[in-house]
Amino acid sequence: MKNYELNCLISSTLKEEEIKKIIEKISSFIQEQEGLVTQSESPIEKTTAYPIENQRETFLITVDFSLKPDRVETINEKLKNTQEILRFFLSKKEKPRKKHQRRAPRKKTVLKEKPSLEKELSSSDEEKRRKDKLKEIDEKLDKILDN
């Protein structure tokens, strides 16, 4: 089941009892389709930007509900055929996202390999080469400085 939000504009000429009946009618539409009404807000009086069926003053009703996605179309059709509803907007509600918490930086783990014989030999060979080069450089410097 997915979560949905339904916003309906209803004529302001209706009485409070009639508005309650419309809300109950909408809830019954949802329950007939095996849906679950999670929240229903009380009507709020709104002024529209342009007249809808010659009315600028309307009541806004908001209903939150859960329903299987394949049953939404039948709710849509029933709302279209309800004369008391001037306009409606049905939208899928997304789950609120959790704020991401910063993680502690990962520690770099260095795997120590066991030195192999080849590496030991190569490192000792490199050391010998370095020492030989240093000796050569020292000898050249001595020759230069003696002259």
Chain segment 73-111, per-residue pLDDT in tens: 999 999 999 888 999 999 998 876 666 666 777 776 666
Half-sphere exposure of 37 (CA within 13 A, CB side): 17
CA dist., res. 123 & res. 79, Å (int): 83
pTM of the model: 0.61
Residue 135 in tokens: 């000796």
Dihedral (CA of 37, 5, 69, 19) sign: positive
Residue 52 in tokens: 């809808």
Which pLDDT score, from 0 to 100, does residue 117 have?
A: 54
Which pLDDT score, from 0 to 100, does residue 120 have?
A: 57
Beta-bridge mates of residue 45: 59
CA dist., res. 96 & res. 7, Å (int): 19
Which pLDDT score, from 0 to 100, does residue 98 have?
A: 65
- The CATH class of the 2-92 domain is alpha beta
Q: Provide the percentage of residues in the chain whose pLDDT is more than 90.
A: 54
pLDDT, mean of residues 117-131: 72
Contact between 57 and 47 under an 8 Å Cβ cutoff? The reply is: yes
DSSP, collapsed to helix, strand or coil, labels residue 22 as helix
CA dist., res. 41 & res. 115, Å (int): 72
Q: What is the largest CA-CA distance in the chain?
A: 118
Q: Summarize pLDDT for 41-72 with one digit per residue, the tens.
A: 889 999 999 998 898 999 999 999 999 999 99
Which pLDDT score, from 0 to 100, does residue 6 have?
A: 94
Task: State the DSSP H helix or E strand holding residue 50, giving kind and residue range, or none if neither.
Answer: strand 44-52
Which pLDDT score, from 0 to 100, does residue 128 have?
A: 85
Structural domain boundaries in the chain: 2-92, 118-147
